[in-house]
Chains A and B, each alone.
Chain A
Amino acid sequence: MTTIAGERMPRHGVRIIAIWLVLTAIAVPLIVLVLGPHLPPPRMSAEAGSQRDANTLMTALLVPIALLVVVYFVYSFVFFRQSGEAILDGPPIKGHAGAQLLWIVLTSAIVLALAVWGSYTLIAGAHGAGGGQGPDPASKPTGYRNALPVQVIGQQWEWTFRYPTYGGIETRDLAIPDHTLVAFHVTSLDVTHSFWAYELGVKADAVPGVDNIAYVKARHTGLFQIRCAELCGLWHGHMSKKGRVLASGAFQSWIAAAKTKNAAIVKYLPKYNRVYFPAPLRRAG
């Protein structure tokens, strides 16, 4: 303590803030303009778009916070270090009510703003943001009554898809029309899976006995990746395939072909239902 009294005190706080401001001024535009367009998921749907916006905004908000802490720590390592073997005490500062209050107010403000913004995008903006909302979605997009229902059935270790409005046919390929609101009804026949359509920004757990609904409206045609995002046993990693977003006309001809192909087997399928209860699952031998 005595050693500090004689020196001229550099304005540490001003320096730290200045370094931080410069770095932030460099980092934030880079994040928004350069990194942002590469953050997931690709904008194949409005829901995926809202997820990418969320990821971009949070990166742009959180990187400056991280920078502030890192700049402070590195600065303190350089200027507040004790060289040599001597063990000298620093100034006995035990706290500062104003600084503590400022910190609490600032972190609370950031956190509350994030929560309010997250809730807004979830409920009003993106209508569940592509996430599974359960059998009775809390946030329904306009026109959800006319949404095309597609049932996604997970079982060890395959995804199958049923189209109740097209005779309840079951396919191993997933195709949906573009610019059409689709309601994925995700369920499982055995254990828990999670239906993840990466480019569409859809993820919904496939839970036995539960009809888990996720809405999505594709913006353009193309392929999207389907994966399982919940460990479901031996071949969990193999539950992946490509789904297709087709133009409206192409979808109609695809489904008509699928219907014809299915005609022979559809009578053997269980009647279309929101959930299925196969015989109680017990251990295999």
Chain B
Amino acid sequence: MDTTMSPSTVDDVDEPDVLARNIRVGSRIWAASQAFFFLAFFFAFLYLRALNTNGLWRGWPHHHPSPSLAFGVAILLCVLGSAAVARGAVLVAPEMWRVTTWAALVLALAAVGLQSAQFSSLGFGPTDAAYASVFVGWSGLFALFLLGTSYWLVTVIGDVTRVGSLPEVRAAMVDGAGFVLLVLAGIEIAAFILLYVVK
């Protein structure tokens, strides 16, 4: 920590409600940014599928990429579970937050792990035309976002575990992380429907 900090700069402790509101508002803005990021892939899927340039949307004639549905369902369930637990935390007593956040973290990391496992046994590669490109890009970047959110969950665990942290801030951290995961879950539902069902 910085030893040269003068007392007058540490004014954040006297405004916990502002701190909490910042986290709540900031997490919602971040969720909107995330949604717009994946909107690009949503659009790419529908657009390239509709254009079907050179008849190669689904891949070369002899080879249609087909990711394993079992992995898809498992990833979907993990993400939905993680979001449900993280978001559901606002309904339970603060004493439970440590458990719920740990559960959300484990499920989110499980989804990332499953995604990596799926990639290593995909049966096709990013080179296999348009659908394969969208699949690899969307799933891969989603896992990356999930990984980033996992780090956030780690800090939430740190906050809800620590005795000295402010109750308003704790509540805001739980609320914010839950909201961001909820939006990610919505994106994952769209991804599942498009990438595994619609193709």
A touches B in complex, CB < 8 A: yes
Residue total for B at the interface (Cβ-Cβ under 8 A): 2
Q: Is A209 interfacial (CB-CB < 8 Å)? A: yes
Per-residue CB contact flags for chain B residues 114-137 toward chain A (1 = under 8 Å, else 0) read 000000000000000000000000
Provide the residues of chain B in CB contact with A73, threshold 8 Å: none
**Chain A: CB-nearest residue to B54:** A277
* Contact residues, A265-279 vs B (CB, 8 A): 277
Main secondary structure of the interface of A (DSSP, over half): loop
Main secondary structure of the interface of B (DSSP, over half): helix
* Contact residues, B43-68 vs A (CB, 8 A): 53-54
CA distance A121 to B122 in the complex (A): 53
**Chain A: CB-nearest residue to B129:** A280
Per-residue CB contact flags for chain A residues 171-213 toward chain B (1 = under 8 Å, else 0) read 0000000000000000000000000000000000000010000
CA distance A209 to B54 in the complex (A): 7
* Contact residues, B135-188 vs A (CB, 8 A): none
Interface residues on A, range: under 10
Minimal beta-carbon separation of B44 from chain A (angstroms): 16
**Chain B: CB-nearest residue to A275:** B54
Provide the residues of chain A in CB contact with B54, threshold 8 Å: 209, 277
Provide the residues of chain B in CB contact with A277, threshold 8 Å: 54
* Contact residues, A226-283 vs B (CB, 8 A): 277
**Chain B: CB-nearest residue to A276:** B54
**Chain A: CB-nearest residue to B127:** A280
Provide the residues of chain A in CB contact with B53, threshold 8 Å: 209
Provide the residues of chain B in CB contact with A209, threshold 8 Å: 53-54
**Chain B: CB-nearest residue to A277:** B54
CA distance A142 to B54 in the complex (A): 31
Minimal beta-carbon separation of B148 from chain A (angstroms): 30
* Contact residues, A17-53 vs B (CB, 8 A): none
Minimal beta-carbon separation of A135 from chain B (angstroms): 11
CA distance A277 to B56 in the complex (A): 11
**Chain B: CB-nearest residue to A209:** B53
Per-residue CB contact flags for chain B residues 91-123 toward chain A (1 = under 8 Å, else 0) read 000000000000000000000000000000000
Minimal beta-carbon separation of B52 from chain A (angstroms): 10
CA distance A122 to B54 in the complex (A): 30
CA distance A277 to B55 in the complex (A): 11
CA distance A277 to B129 in the complex (A): 14
**Chain A: CB-nearest residue to B56:** A277
Minimal beta-carbon separation of B51 from chain A (angstroms): 8
Minimal beta-carbon separation of A235 from chain B (angstroms): 26
CA distance A277 to B54 in the complex (A): 7
Minimal beta-carbon separation of A277 from chain B (angstroms): 5
Q: Which residues of A contact B (CB under 8 A)?
A: 209, 277
Can you show 3 pairs from A to B with CB atoms below 8 A apart?
A209-B53, A209-B54, A277-B54
The 3 closest A-B pairs by CB, nearest first: A209-B53, A277-B54, A209-B54
